[in-house]
Structure 1
Amino acid sequence: MEIVRINVGGTVFETKKLTLSQYPQTLLGRLSPQSEFYDNRRQCYFFDRNPDIFGPILGLYRTGTLHFPSFYCGATIKQELEFWEISPKLLAECCLQNYLQYEADLQTTQTLNQAFEEYELDYTDEECRTSNIKRILRKIWLTLEEPSSSRLAKVFNYIFLVVVIASMANFTLESHPLFRKETLSNDSLLYIITYGDIRFFKELNLQNPKEIMFGTTKPVDLLRHSEIVTSIFFTIELIFHFASCPRKGRFFRSPLNIIDLLLVVAMWVTFALEQDLEFLVKNYELVRFFLVLKSLLVLRLFRVFRLMKLYSGLRIMIMSVRASIRDLLLLSMSFLVASLFFASFIYYAEFYVSDTFSDIFIGIWWSVITMTTVGYGDMYPKSTLGYIVGGVCAFSGMLILAMPVAILATNFSDFYHKNKLREMKTSLFDQDGKKEETLSLSRVSPINTNDTPPVTVKCCC
């Protein structure tokens, strides 16, 4: 019986050669006197590793099961398995969670670091060293693109937030009659519709107050002037943003930049058309084009997502949705199948009721509204069998929609917690860096103006 002596960090372990041969593909299973770890003087194998962790490793060869105490970090377990050349598949089920959780946490941390600490587009150090213009453009680019790059960038993004809120307020207020002034009285409108030759007014529906308001009023001067100011701001911002972009070919790969371009064009075209309302209303096709451009202005709400780099919570919410995209696709498929299922059932359950569910498409609308527990009440069953189908549909909707909420909440909580740790770590390192810089300055000996020796400042930190 051959005994093998293994010295791990000063602690000697003894076991049988036969025991180690249980896993010949591992480092311990291949030990021989010719190994680089064999110490001829001590007649043992020496490994400069932690002896406390070697106990569970040796336990694998003795019992056939690899267990680690729960207080060991997943990174430590991974490093030991890699050194001893042991497959993670040999980990016991009760200990596998720590290892897999470490892998998941590592991936989450890497995702956060890439999102918050690495700039997707930036000028290279070589470009900034060789060109003063590139250095200035880089400063402008980071100010507009990365709020965390400087204090000026953060101030600009707060200004951008105020302008976005003002733009959204303008868009909302101009739809209210209180913030519009009359340009044409109702009597004049009725006369033009009756005797005039302007097609736009002839197409107006007098029963629709929104059409009448649009045809006879325009926003008050304060809103119009505010709209001009915000349009000028966004136009200048887009020009500087594009001009300072280090890779202009990739600038419009971002959906937000495309939306900014569409909004700037739409705002100035609609502004130009509104300067001559008489010409506008005489050309009915131009009115349609004007309304399309006006509808595009609702996209200004997407400018809020430009601020997700300023507010980490908003960015984490987007990252959580991306991390849950497969689960959301599964939800969508399940919801679609369930909608078709209950739509078909309610159609045939109400087949002999003449005034409900004329086709399955109406049934799909009803099943979507019922499963989401909105319940408009525009369509509802009237037969006993229809009541049963409706009850099962509502109950199924709660079950289907409840599952992805937990997944989204878990992913958001995970990202949020890891980001808080990342921010605390960054803040701590910044403070330590400033403290170290202060201490290094204090260690510099002052100019000696007399014969006394210089004072040496010692740090006890």
Structure 2
Amino acid sequence: MDRIKINVGGSVFEIFRKELMQYPDTLLGSLSTKVGSSDDVQSMFFFSRNPETFNNILDFYRHGKLHFASGNCGAALHDEIDYWQLPLDAICECCVQEYFRYEKEMEQIKVLKAAFEESDLTYDAQQVLRSRRVYIFNAIWKFLDQPYSSKFAQVFNIVFLLVVIMSALSFILSTNKEFRDVLIDFNTLEFLVKHSELPFFQEIDLNNSKEVLFSTSEAIKELRDIDFACALFFTVEVLILALKHSCKELCLLFLSFLIASIYFAFIVYFAEYKTDDSFETMQIGIWWSIVTMTTVGYGDVFPKSGLGYAVGTVCAFVELLL
């Protein structure tokens, strides 16, 4: 026969045999050897596939180029090409980017899932019955680590987010001289009253052990900074999980820009701490980072030390990435 009939999902297509035999390594090109797959009465091959994209498959045999209609699902195109065993180098240049964009998106999705996938502590019934502590630990872990495990967990994480934001704001305000002394006095008084009954502090002579007291206070300050950093990272993770179902690129760009501004303000504030009073507060540092990353460059505030110059250079390059 010169022509071959192909039934794809109820739609009948016809094509010359010689056109199929040009590509014997493909599924349709090997039809002549697969007699068992055909209906001998009607001389028709049947495939239980979606016929919507089959015209594009046949055009490959007719013209030697594979095109796709715009708007087709990338996963469906991958399945069709794999099923019909078509060579990837046959995809026309105008459709290559659309085809491989699906692979890039899938790789990005895998990376995001691996980074933010909610792990679970699962125990069988015997383990739970054998140890009530395991059950309680699992419930507490879900409550603290998985914001959407229950309504109470959602409320807790919202409150926790507000607390971290307030902590960040209080840290920024503490760089102001009028707030700094008040906050230091309050935190010192609270710490002394809270821990005044501990034997360790009762043994410290404030007149003869100033170095020990100073070292202890510095260590406690570092521990508070580490705890704040861990809380901030958890908050960012919660924020990303809240935004993953929305595609508001503008909001995501704004958040990235705001975080970068705060980080650079924090770095430049301490980089210029021993110089003159150009960066008196972190608010001025935030203003400087925003002006630098938006390439406005008013010049009213600028770093004057070598480390400050390095921070400004990195800040300008980060703006290009954002």
Which TM class, normalised by the smaller chain length?
Answer: 0.5 to 0.7
Match of 1:308 in 2: 236
Q: How many residue pairs were aligned?
A: 264
Structure 1 residue 20 displacement after superposition: 1.2
| C-alpha distance in structure 1 between counterparts of 2:113 and 2:129, whole Å | 26
- Measured against aligned partners, the alpha-carbon deviations of 1:208-258 in whole angstroms (never above 9, x if no partner) come to xxxxxxxxx9724x77438988xxxxxxxxxxxxxxxxxxxxxxxxxxxxx
Match of 2:321 in 1: 404
Structure 1 residue 283 displacement after superposition: 3.1
Do the aligned partners of 1:26 and 1:85 also contact (CA within 8 Å) in 2? yes
- SS of alignment partner, residue 148 of structure 2: helix
Structure 1 residue 132 displacement after superposition: 3.9
In structure 1, stretches of 5+ residues that fail to align are: 182-216, 230-267, 322-369, 380-395, 406-461
- Measured against aligned partners, the alpha-carbon deviations of 1:63-99 in whole angstroms (never above 9, x if no partner) come to 1100011122112211111111113332112112222
Do the aligned partners of 2:6 and 2:13 also contact (CA within 8 Å) in 1? yes
TM-score scaled by length of structure 1: 0.47
Match of 1:120 in 2: 119
Do the aligned partners of 2:4 and 2:43 also contact (CA within 8 Å) in 1? no
- SS of alignment partner, residue 119 of structure 2: coil
RMSD after superposition:
4.4
| C-alpha distance in structure 1 between counterparts of 2:189 and 2:166, whole Å | 12
Alignment of 1:348-367 (within 5 A): none
Instruction: Work out whether 1:290 is the aligned partner of 2:216.
Output: yes
| C-alpha distance in structure 1 between counterparts of 2:143 and 2:36, whole Å | 56
Which structure has the bigger radius of gyration?
1
| C-alpha distance in structure 2 between counterparts of 1:402 and 1:163, whole Å | 29
Structure 1 residue 105 displacement after superposition: 3.0
Instruction: Work out whether 1:219 is the aligned partner of 2:219.
Output: no
Instruction: Work out whether 1:26 is the aligned partner of 2:17.
Output: no
| C-alpha distance in structure 2 between counterparts of 1:99 and 1:226, whole Å | 61
- Measured against aligned partners, the alpha-carbon deviations of 1:317-376 in whole angstroms (never above 9, x if no partner) come to 9xx99xxxxxxxxxxxxxxxxxxxxxxxxxxxxxxxxxxxxxxxxxxxxxxxx9997842
Instruction: Work out whether 1:62 is the aligned partner of 2:27.
Output: no
Match of 2:262 in 1: none
- Classify 1:398/1:35 alpha carbon distance in 2 versus 1 (closer, same or farther; 3 Å): farther
Do the aligned partners of 1:68 and 1:95 also contact (CA within 8 Å) in 2? yes
- Classify 1:99/1:299 alpha carbon distance in 2 versus 1 (closer, same or farther; 3 Å): same
| C-alpha distance in structure 1 between counterparts of 2:23 and 2:71, whole Å | 26
- Classify 1:84/1:98 alpha carbon distance in 2 versus 1 (closer, same or farther; 3 Å): same
Higher mean C-alpha displacement, 54-63 vs 152-161: 152-161
Instruction: Work out whether 1:376 is the aligned partner of 2:303.
Output: yes
Match of 2:17 in 1: 17
| C-alpha distance in structure 1 between counterparts of 2:315 and 2:177, whole Å | 37
Structure 1 residue 301 displacement after superposition: 2.9
TM-score scaled by length of structure 2: 0.64
Structure 1 residue 104 displacement after superposition: 2.8
Amino acid at match of 1:307: T
Match of 2:42 in 1: 42
Identity of aligned residues (%): 30
- Classify 1:151/1:10 alpha carbon distance in 2 versus 1 (closer, same or farther; 3 Å): closer
Alignment of 1:189-204 (within 5 A): none
Do the aligned partners of 1:174 and 1:223 also contact (CA within 8 Å) in 2? no
- SS of alignment partner, residue 61 of structure 2: helix
Instruction: Work out whether 1:102 is the aligned partner of 2:108.
Output: no
| C-alpha distance in structure 2 between counterparts of 1:397 and 1:310, whole Å | 27
Amino acid at match of 2:321: P
Higher mean C-alpha displacement, 128-137 vs 80-89: 128-137
Structure 1 residue 308 displacement after superposition: 3.2
- Classify 1:162/1:4 alpha carbon distance in 2 versus 1 (closer, same or farther; 3 Å): closer
Structure 1 residue 273 displacement after superposition: 7.0
Amino acid at match of 2:219: L
Higher mean C-alpha displacement, 87-96 vs 154-163: 154-163
Structure 1 residue 142 displacement after superposition: 0.7
In structure 2, stretches of 5+ residues that fail to align are: 254-291, 307-312
Higher mean C-alpha displacement, 14-23 vs 142-151: 14-23
Structure 1 residue 275 displacement after superposition: 6.3
- Classify 1:375/1:21 alpha carbon distance in 2 versus 1 (closer, same or farther; 3 Å): farther
Structure 1 residue 3 displacement after superposition: 2.7
| C-alpha distance in structure 1 between counterparts of 2:243 and 2:189, whole Å | 33
- Classify 1:163/1:47 alpha carbon distance in 2 versus 1 (closer, same or farther; 3 Å): closer
Structure 1 residue 150 displacement after superposition: 0.8
- Classify 1:163/1:87 alpha carbon distance in 2 versus 1 (closer, same or farther; 3 Å): same
- SS of alignment partner, residue 14 of structure 2: strand
Match of 2:269 in 1: none
- Classify 1:134/1:397 alpha carbon distance in 2 versus 1 (closer, same or farther; 3 Å): closer
- Measured against aligned partners, the alpha-carbon deviations of 1:38-62 in whole angstroms (never above 9, x if no partner) come to 1112112111223331111011111
Amino acid at match of 2:142: L
- Classify 1:142/1:100 alpha carbon distance in 2 versus 1 (closer, same or farther; 3 Å): same
